[in-house]
């Protein structure tokens, strides 16, 4: 955690030059320790006991999580929200006041119930929410494992059946995709953005398109979002149809469509050829059977 509270309940920041002695968790109010000494590159606050959902687990003090939060102004990091009715407390990793948007970063696997709860919590309180999942190959260099998570469509034919995205047609299999498919989660008709970061260098997040097929199949967007300081949060909520109408994505999309049509024609032609060939074989087999029958020879095939 990058934010804690001092004895007066004011926000204090782990990155500050001060060595905080008395600090408290922004979520549960328990005492936390300011870790800013020795080998620690990115200072953070740590619980003395691991009883808090926003505590010492690997997620909140993971290097990637901290780095992503640091792309945003410190006032926007780890903002506390309390539900008026249920008194439920949630800490948004980032809250951009201006656009009324919560951004959640997720490196480790998240429980489905937790994903639904947090998403609905913000949506029902009138805020927008963006989820950004860490899917860099560096964190999972086992290719087999990676392909199990995102099933890259196995061949052109399959990709063509699924639309003109070709090489970027991935189907996202990792949780919480399963909830995206279900209508009983209460999320089915709501607009929120789900992204994955696949690149460590430029830190690229792909927005997953939801409106193409409802939530049944989610594809990466043609458009990529560069995670950087001062990014335009509205980009997360632009529908794919918008990007397809903008240069350079417009021409890229058109090019892909041309390629898609070309490959489709080629497949149709090959399929026609295959059918003709099969018909020819069937005809020849028939002729052979008739000839054999005339000579009272039983076919051996």
Binding residues for Zn ion (CB under 5 A): 25, 27-28, 52
Choice between 51 and 257, CB closer to Zn ion: 51
Q: How far is the CB of 78 from Zn ion (least distance, A)?
A: 11
Choice between 52 and 222, CB closer to Zn ion: 52
CA-nearest of 11, 185, 173, 39 to 112 is: 185
Helix (H, G, I), strand (E, B) or coil at 132: strand
Half-sphere exposure of 182 (CA within 13 A, CB side): 11
Task: Characterise 127 by phi-psi region: left (phi > 0), alpha (psi -120 to 50), beta (else).
Answer: beta
Choice between 52 and 179, CB closer to Zn ion: 52
Q: How far is the CB of 27 from Zn ion (least distance, A)?
A: 4
Choice between 89 and 166, CB closer to Zn ion: 89
Q: How far is the CB of 123 from Zn ion (least distance, A)?
A: 24
Q: How far is the CB of 32 from Zn ion (least distance, A)?
A: 7
CA-nearest of 258, 254, 256, 206 to 227 is: 206
Q: How far is the CB of 46 from Zn ion (least distance, A)?
A: 10
Choice between 87 and 145, CB closer to Zn ion: 87
Residue whose tokens read 């003109």: 164
Under a CB-based contact definition with an 8 Å cutoff, are residues 102 and 92 in contact?
A: yes
CA-nearest of 192, 180, 187 to 103 is: 192
């Amino acid at each position: 955690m990058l934010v804690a509270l001092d004895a007066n309940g004011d926000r204090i920041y782990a990155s500050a030059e001060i060595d905080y002695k008395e600090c408290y968790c922004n979520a549960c109010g328990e005492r936390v320790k300011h870790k800013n000494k020795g080998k620690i590159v990115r200072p953070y606050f740590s619980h003395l006991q691991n009883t808090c959902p926003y505590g010492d687990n690997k997620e909140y003090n993971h290097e990637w999580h901290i780095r992503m939060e640091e792309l945003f102004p410190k006032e926007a990091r780890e903002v506390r929200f309390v539900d008026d009715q249920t008194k439920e407390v949630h800490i948004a990793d980032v809250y951009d006041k201006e656009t009324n948007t919560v951004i959640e970063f997720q490196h480790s696997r998240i429980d489905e119930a937790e994903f639904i709860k947090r998403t609905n919590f913000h949506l029902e309180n009138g805020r927008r929410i963006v989820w950004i999942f860490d899917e860099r190959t560096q964190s999972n260099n086992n290719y087999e494992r990676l392909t199990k998570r995102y099933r890259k469509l196995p061949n052109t034919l399959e990709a063509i059946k699924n639309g003109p995205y070709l090489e970027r047609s991935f189907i996202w299999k990792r949780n919480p995709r399963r909830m995206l498919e279900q209508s009983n989660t209460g999320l089915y008709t709501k607009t929120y953005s789900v992204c994955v970061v696949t690149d460590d260098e430029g830190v690229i997040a792909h927005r997953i398109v939801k409106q193409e097929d409802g939530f049944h199949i989610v594809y990466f967007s043609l458009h990529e979002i560069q995670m950087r300081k001062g990014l335009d949060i509205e980009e997360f909520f632009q529908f794919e149809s918008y990007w397809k109408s903008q240069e350079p994505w417009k021409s890229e999309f058109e090019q892909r469509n041309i390629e898609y049509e070309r490959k489709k024609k080629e497949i149709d032609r090959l399929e026609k050829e295959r059918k003709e060939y099969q018909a020819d074989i069937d005809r020849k087999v028939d002729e052979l059977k008739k000839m054999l029958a005339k000579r009272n020879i039983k076919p051996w095939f």
